[in-house]
Amino acid sequence: MGAFVVEGQHRLQGTVRINGAKNSALKLMVAALLGQGVFNLENVPRITDVHTMAGVLECLGARVKFKDHAMEIEVASLHGHTPEHLVKSMRASVQVMGPLLARLGWVEVALPGGCAIGTRPLDIHLAGLQQMGASISVNEEVLVARAPSGLHGADITFRYPSVGATENIMMAAALARGETVIRNAAQEPEIVDIQDFLNAMGAQIEGAGTSVIRVKGVKDLGCTDYVVMPDRIEAGTYLLAFLVTGGQGTLTHVQPQHFSSLLNVVRSMGGEIEASSDKVLVSSPKRFRPLRVVTGPYPGFPTDLQPQIVVAATQAHGRSELRETVFDRRFGYLSELSKLGAVVKQRHQDVVVYGPTKLRGAHLEAGDLRAGAALVLAALAAEGESRVLGSHHVDRGYEAFEDKLRALGAHISKVE
Ligand code: UD1
C-alpha cells in the first residue's frame, strides 16, 4: 500500500490552482451515455476515479480519450452490462443506472463500492425509478432494472435530498415520456453543472440549484463541449492546509460562492478571507477560535470537508463541536488523529475537539478519500515525521496531491 511521508510544521505559502470537480466530472461522463456523438470535456481532473469511470464507459461501448485535462468521449451504440469489478470500486458508477435504463430499457449493475463511510442505501434512487415505470430486482448482489416499454414521467418526492438520486432521476427523466418533477431535490452546485450539460445536449431541465427540478423528456439527445466546474472540496482542503500550517495563500480557478459555508467557518475561527469572483486569499490568525459545525446537504457545511475541519479544530483555542448528519460512520479517522496527540471525543454523530494540541508525527492509516486528505493535513501540522498509509484513497479524488502541496512548501513525498 502506498503512503505519504510528511515532515510537518512547514508553513504553506503560495498559489494553488484548483482542478475540475471530481463529483461533477464523473457524473458528466455518465450523462454523456444519454447522447450520441463526440463530447469534449475540459478541466477534467486526472484522478483515479475518473480513470475508473472511463473504464466503465468503455466497457459499455463508448470510446474515451484522455489527454492532460481534456477528455473526448464518443458515444454511438451501447449495451447494458456494467463491469462488476469496476463498479464495486466506485459508488458513482451506480449513476449509470438511470441513463442506461432510459436509453436501453434495461440495465444490470453490481452493487457499488466506494468510500467506506457508512451505510449508503439506494432506496431513494430505486423508488424514483420505480415510480417512472421501472421494475427492479436484486440477484446475488446484481441489480437488474427493466423498463421494456420505456420510462415515463412522474411526480417524485424524495424523503432526503440525495445528491446521487437527484442526478440519477434527472438523467433518466431526460429521455422519459412526459414531465418528471423531483421534489426535495439536492441543491448542490454539481447538480446545476449536470443540468447545464444535459441542456446543452438538448434536454429540457429547469430548477437545478433549488429543491424542485422539472424535466421534460425528449426523444433523443446529442453531444456537446463542456468545461467542468471547479472542485469545491479540493479548494476547501487546500484552504484548510494553509490554515493548519499557520500559512497563507491563494486558491485560483475556484467559485468561492460554492464553499461559502467553509469560508464563514474559517472567518469565525479568525482566519482572514478575501474572496473575488474566481480566487480566494486566506491568511491564518495567530490564535484560532474554536468552531461549531453541523454538516448537511448544500448549502450546509459539506460532509466531504468534515475530517479536514476537525483537523483545523485541533489547533483552535478551546472546545470545538462538530455534528455529522449526512453519513454515519464517517469518524474512522479519529483514532488515527489521536495517535498524533489530538484530543477528540466522539459520541454517535457528535465530535468534541479540545485544542490547541501540539501534534507529533506518527504512523497513520487512511480508510477513505477525505479521511486520507485530512490525515495528511494533520501530518503537515505535526512536529516531526508522519506516514499516512493508503495514498490510493487520496489519489481517487485529488490530482497530484503531494506535488501540489510540495509546490506550496510542504515536505511531503509519496512512497509505493
Ligand atoms: C455524493 C458525493 C459524496 C458526497 C455526498 C454528499 C459522489 C460520487 N459522491 O454522494 O462525495 O459526500 O454526495 O454531498 O458524487 N441515502 C439513502 N438512500 C439513497 C441515497 C442516499 O439513504 O437512496 C443517504 C445516504 O446513505 C447518505 C445520504 O443519503 O446518508 C446522502 O447521500 P447522497 O447525497 O446520495 O450521497 P452520494 O450521492 O452517495
Which of 91, 163, 396 maximizes ligand 1 atoms within 8 Å of its Cβ, making it the mutation to test the pocket?
A: 163
Q: Of residues 115, 239, 265, 379, which has the active-site annotation?
A: 115
Shared-domain flag, residues 236 and 167? no
Shared-domain flag, residues 48 and 108? yes
Decide if 200 contacts 222 (C-beta within 8 A): no
227, 258, 278 - which closes a domain: 227
- Kindly report the CA angle at 275 between 271 and 279, in degrees rounded to 5? 115
Shared-domain flag, residues 200 and 335? no
Q: Among the atoms of ligand 1, which is closest to the Cα of residue 233? A: 11
Lateral strand order in the sheet of 63-67: 63-67, 70-75, 37-42, 225-227
Q: Whose CA is nearest to atom 31 of ligand 1?
A: 162
Q: Whose CA is nearest to atom 8 of ligand 1?
A: 92
227, 247, 278 - which closes a domain: 227
Q: Tally the domains of the chain.
A: 2
Q: What is the pLDDT of residue 242?
A: 98
Shared-domain flag, residues 92 and 11? no
Cell for 198?
444535459
Shared-domain flag, residues 181 and 256? no
Q: What is the pLDDT of residue 68?
A: 97
206 has which bridge partners? 214
Q: What is the pLDDT of residue 351?
A: 98
Q: Whose CA is nearest to atom 38 of ligand 1?
A: 164
181 has which bridge partners? 155, 214
Ligand 1 binding pocket, CB closer than 6 Å: 23, 26, 91-92, 119-125, 160, 162-165, 186, 303-304, 326-327
Q: Any catalytic annotation for residue 115?
A: yes
CATH number for position 64 = 3.65.10.10
Q: What is the pLDDT of residue 90?
A: 58
Shared-domain flag, residues 221 and 251? no
pLDDT in tens, the chain (416 residues): 999 999 999 999 999 999 999 999 999 999 999 999 999 999 999 999 999 899 989 988 999 999 999 999 999 988 766 666 656 655 666 788 899 999 999 888 877 655 554 556 888 999 999 999 999 988 777 788 899 999 999 999 999 999 999 999 999 999 999 999 999 999 999 999 999 999 999 999 999 999 999 999 999 999 999 999 999 999 999 999 999 999 999 999 999 999 999 999 999 999 999 999 999 999 999 999 999 999 999 999 999 999 999 999 999 999 999 999 999 889 999 999 999 999 999 999 999 999 999 999 999 999 999 999 999 999 999 999 999 999 999 999 999 999 999 999 999 999 98
CA of 411 to the centre of ligand 1 (A): 34
Q: What is the pLDDT of residue 110?
A: 76
Distance, in Å, from the CA atom of 301 to the CA atom of 258, rounded to the nearest integer, reads: 11
227, 254, 277 - which closes a domain: 227
Burial level of 391, CB count in 10 A (0-12/13-18/19+)?
buried
CA of 257 to the centre of ligand 1 (A): 21
Shared-domain flag, residues 143 and 242? no
Q: What is the pLDDT of residue 117?
A: 46
